Amino acid sequence: MGVMNITPDSFSDGGSLYKGGPDMDAVRRRAEQMVADGANFLDLGGESTRPGADPVGEQEELDRVIPCVEALADLPVTLSIDTSTPSVMRESAARGAGLINDVRALTREGALATAAELQLPVCLMHMQGSPQTMQQDPSYDAVVLEVRDWLLDRVEACAAAGIAREQILLDPGFGFGKTVGHNLALLEGLSALTATGHDVLVGLSRKSLIGKLIGREVHERLPASLALAVLAAERGARIIRTHDVRETADALAMVSALANPDRAGE
Ligand code: PT1
């Protein structure tokens, strides 16, 4: 899954797809490149949710995301919409989006009912707190079990609202209200999530846990991001959210080759 941030304040790419609004030529070029590089999903986001990011208004989020969905709907890839906002879900679905990726797991007013009505697959992510405050003092008794159980409670809420369980993906939310220790425990214990039977999506690409572990700046985090992607795939993650599609696809091809040696090569 390739990351496309349609924001002026992205932590990782400094808003290269946004020049006072979505830069449609740059958006199209980046999307085509990611598809050529092997992306199966493009994740379009109009709200930065990195630690400390400011919230975005509903109309602003629509103005950022919807033109991009329109411009990319013909690509042979599933458009994932990184949003918590019901109107963004609705307008994106009407233009061909194929996945709702909500870092707030459909907890915003109206989001659950909207997702159920649209009948699209949804990714439910765990976050402790809000993007503004989540890294101030993250705290858990048993992080893996708490994250799993919170996500399973959200699955029940989705099922009660009429979302098919097969349509629900789970994501532990690396970096969202977690210390480095919490993040590492969640990665090591990822099988607790895959054992639920839901497909698991992870986003570790360029995140600050890497900076905290090895002191690399954002643009020096590719090798460590690839290692984390491989470790997550080994532990059963099915979708890897990344800024670097070509490199990540190569790394994941090696995981697949080892998992299916008879089908590899020649
Ligand atoms: C994610 C994710 C996401 N991450 C899903 N959606 C972001 N499903 C946006 C840091 O510590 O992991 N899963 N949408 C980006 N958010 C962050 C969080 C970026 C933390 C950076 C950090 O550096």
C-beta 11 within 6 A of ligand 1? yes
Task: Please give the pLDDT value at position 225.
Answer: 98
Active-site residue flag, 212: no
Two structure tokens written together for 6: 């349609």
Looking at residue 53, what is its pLDDT?
86
Q: What is the predicted pLDDT for the residue at 263?
A: 82
Cα-to-centroid distance, 174 and ligand 1 (Å): 7
Structural domain includes residue 130: yes
Look at residue 156 and tell me if it is in a domain: yes
Q: Does residue 40 form part of some domain?
A: yes
Any domain includes 262: no
Judge whether 212 lies within some domain: no
Q: DSSP string of the chain?
A: -EEEE-STT-TTTTTTTBSSSB-HHHHHHHHHHHHHTT-SEEEEESS--STTPPP--HHHHHHHHHHHHHHHTTSSSEEEEE---HHHHHHHHHTT--EEEETTTT-STTHHHHHHHHT--EEEE--SS-TTTTTSS---SSHHHHHHHHHHHHHHHHHHHT--GGGEEEE--TTSS--HHHHHHHHHTTHHHHTTSS-BEEE-TT-HHHHHHH---GGG-HHHHHHHHHHHHHTT--EEEBS-HHHHHHHHHHHHHHH-GGGS--
Q: Which of 42, 35, 57 is nearest to 2 (CA)?
A: 42
State the total domains in the chain. Answer: 1
190 occurs within a structural domain: yes
Is any atom of ligand 1 closer than 6 Å to the C-beta of 83? no
Residue 41 pairs with which residues in a beta bridge?
78
Which pLDDT score, from 0 to 100, does residue 266 have? 66
Of 56, 176, 193, the one to substitute when testing ligand 1's pocket (max ligand atoms within 8 A of C-beta) is: 176
What residue numbers bound the domain in which 37 lies?
A: 2-203+236-242
Tell me how far the alpha carbon of residue 241 lies from the centroid of ligand 1, in angstroms: 9
pTM, to two decimals: 0.97
Task: Read off the amino acid at residue 64.
Answer: R
Q: Is residue 229 part of a domain?
A: no
76 falls within a domain: yes
* Ligand 1 contact, 237 CB (< 6 A): no
Q: How far is CA 235 from the centre of its chain?
A: 17
Question: What is the predicted pLDDT for the residue at 22?
Answer: 96
What is the predicted pLDDT for the residue at 262?
Answer: 87
Closest ligand 1 atom number to CA of residue 203:
12
Instruction: Give pLDDT < 70 ranges for the chain.
Output: 14, 266
Rounded to the nearest whole angstrom, what is the distance from the C-alpha of residue 263 to the centroid of ligand 1?
Answer: 33
The CATH number of the domain holding residue 143 is 3.20.20.20
Q: How many CA atoms lie within 13 A of 112 on its CB side?
A: 13
121 lines ligand 1 (CB under 6 A): no
